[in-house]
């Protein structure tokens, strides 16, 4: 069992606890968000801006200390996607085909593979008529159409916040805008979003690339972003776009998701107090890599680890305070194992720092809801 003290930090150090349920309109897969607090207008309840760790809290720690950041690990989109595969396996039985990694974490993928999920790179690899699950990162319309032509039974585990970006791309393209998609061009999410309007979309990953853009009408340009980018680097790219195209339009609310933002804000809060920051996450996890970059940009040594087995002994030399967090696709048991590992290395003071509460939940896709409803009632349940 983990022993630690929890410090909940809200605005000005005031704990936040009221809850608000918000229903989204117009998008069938956005069933509801359960906000920890705040409101729909600003999504403030689950975003990190404006929070500060109480002054002096960290200065009180003595000896080898482990700061366990919260929120960390699984986001609502990842929980939903993993649930979709698990429930599909139980309801329909293996094999269940999953297009690409359901989320970018090697342990999650291996666990689901062990239960009967078959991961494929393309819908082409799935036998006609079988079930296929689209990953949390989303797919292009071409993949949807191809799957339909093949008679595949699709279950869509695309994160609703990725779907939001797809909807925006379609809207801007229909209105005649040239679209600039800020992101990593080979990432599954960007490939899917780009596919919504491939003829009018260009992907940029840096302010330098903005200089090379060419569009038919500089007054009819819009931008969108990948959901898991660095907030700071994205700001720089948007600034470069605004300088180049002063009338550029953007999304009504930022595309970088609450989970990406909150984890970055938490890292920023402790980076200057830490000798080392460890991020649990897989190499291909975009949001996990961004957490490492955020710390390094603040001058703090940081490493991405798939598990505690990746920790190099020399990283710990001279490190009195270590901060530990996890990317949005990293399971909590890997964090627990890392805490145990570091405790054994002498980091006995474990402080969990809750920078803000996070209570987002997404509803399941209709195919899964129907499968649950159709499942036979366990004989023992009725007694």
Residues that bind ligand SF4 (CB under 6 A): 75-78, 136, 159, 161-162, 227-228, 257, 259-260, 287, 328
Of the candidates 144, 134, 77, the residue with the CA atom closest to the CA atom of residue 100: 134
Shortest distance in whole angstroms from residue 377 CB to ligand SF4: 32
Q: Beta strands 178-182 and 153-156: pairing type?
A: unpaired
How many Å apart are CA 72 and CA 38, to the nearest integer? 20
As beta bridge partners, residue 5 has 351
How many Å apart are CA 358 and CA 34, to the nearest integer? 9
How many Å apart are CA 327 and CA 123, to the nearest integer? 28
| Cβ distance to ligand SF4 smaller for residue 136 or 324 | 136
Shortest distance in whole angstroms from residue 73 CB to ligand SF4: 11
Residues 6 or more apart whose CB falls under 8 angstroms from that of 361 comprise 32, 33, 34, 76, 79
| Cβ distance to ligand SF4 smaller for residue 251 or 351 | 251
Quick one: 46 exposed, middle or buried, by C-beta within 10 A (0-12, 13-18, 19+)? buried
Residue nearest ligand SF4, CB atom distance: 77
Strand, coil or helix: what is 86?
helix
| Cβ distance to ligand SF4 smaller for residue 58 or 189 | 189
CA distances from 306 to 106, 142, 203, 325 (A): 8, 33, 29, 12
Quick one: 164 exposed, middle or buried, by C-beta within 10 A (0-12, 13-18, 19+)? buried
Q: Active-site positions?
A: 189
Shortest distance in whole angstroms from residue 18 CB to ligand SF4: 22
Shortest distance in whole angstroms from residue 260 CB to ligand SF4: 5
| Cβ distance to ligand SF4 smaller for residue 150 or 184 | 184
| Cβ distance to ligand SF4 smaller for residue 10 or 281 | 281
Strand, coil or helix: what is 249?
strand
Shortest distance in whole angstroms from residue 34 CB to ligand SF4: 13
| Cβ distance to ligand SF4 smaller for residue 197 or 257 | 257
Shortest distance in whole angstroms from residue 56 CB to ligand SF4: 32
Strand, coil or helix: what is 341?
helix
Of the candidates 339, 307, 276, 293, the residue with the CA atom closest to the CA atom of residue 105: 307
């Amino acid at each position: 069992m983990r022993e630690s003290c929890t410090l909940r930090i809200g605005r000005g150090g005031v704990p936040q606890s009221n809850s608000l349920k918000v229903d989204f309109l117009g998008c069938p897969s956005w069933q509801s968000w359960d906000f920890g607090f705040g409101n729909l207008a600003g999504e403030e309840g689950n975003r990190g801006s404006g929070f500060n760790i109480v002054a002096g809290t960290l200065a009180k720690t003595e000896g080898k200390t482990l700061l366990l950041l919260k929120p960390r690990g699984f986001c609502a989109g990842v929980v939903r996607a993993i649930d979709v595969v698990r429930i599909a396996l139980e309801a329909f039985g293996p094999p269940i085909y999953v297009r690409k990694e359901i989320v970018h974490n090697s342990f999650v993928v291996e666990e689901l593979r062990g239960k009967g999920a078959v991961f494929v790179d393309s819908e082409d690899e799935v036998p006609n008529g079988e079930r296929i699950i689209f990953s949390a990162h989303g797919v292009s319309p071409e993949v949807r159409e191809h799957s339909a032509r093949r008679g595949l039974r699709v279950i869509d585990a695309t994160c609703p916040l990725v779907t939001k970006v797809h909807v925006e791309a379609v809207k801007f393209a229909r209105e005649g805008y040239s679209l600039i998609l800020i992101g990593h061009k080979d990432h599954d999410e960007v490939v899917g979003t780009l596919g919504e309007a491939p003829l009018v979309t260009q992907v940029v990953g840096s302010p330098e690339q903005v200089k090379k853009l060419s569009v038919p009408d500089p007054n009819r340009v819009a931008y969108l972003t990948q959901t898991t980018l660095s907030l700071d680097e994205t700001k720089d790219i948007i600034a470069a776009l605004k300088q180049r195209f002063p009338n550029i339009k953007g999304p009504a609310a930022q595309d970088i998701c609450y989970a990406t933002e909150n984890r970055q804000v938490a890292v920023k809060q402790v980076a200057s107090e830490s000798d080392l920051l460890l991020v649990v996450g897989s190499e291909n996890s975009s949001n996990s890599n961004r957490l490492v970059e955020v710390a390094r940009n603040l001058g703090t040594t940081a490493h991405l680890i798939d598990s505690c087995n990746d920790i190099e002994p020399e990283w710990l030399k001279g490190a009195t305070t270590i901060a530990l967090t996890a990317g949005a696709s990293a399971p909590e048991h890997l964090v627990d194992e890392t805490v145990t590992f570091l405790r054994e290395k002498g980091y006995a003071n474990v402080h969990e720092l809750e920078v803000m509460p996070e209570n987002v939940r997404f509803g399941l896709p209709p195919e899964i809801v129907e499968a649950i409803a159709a499942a036979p009632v366990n004989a023992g349940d009725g007694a």
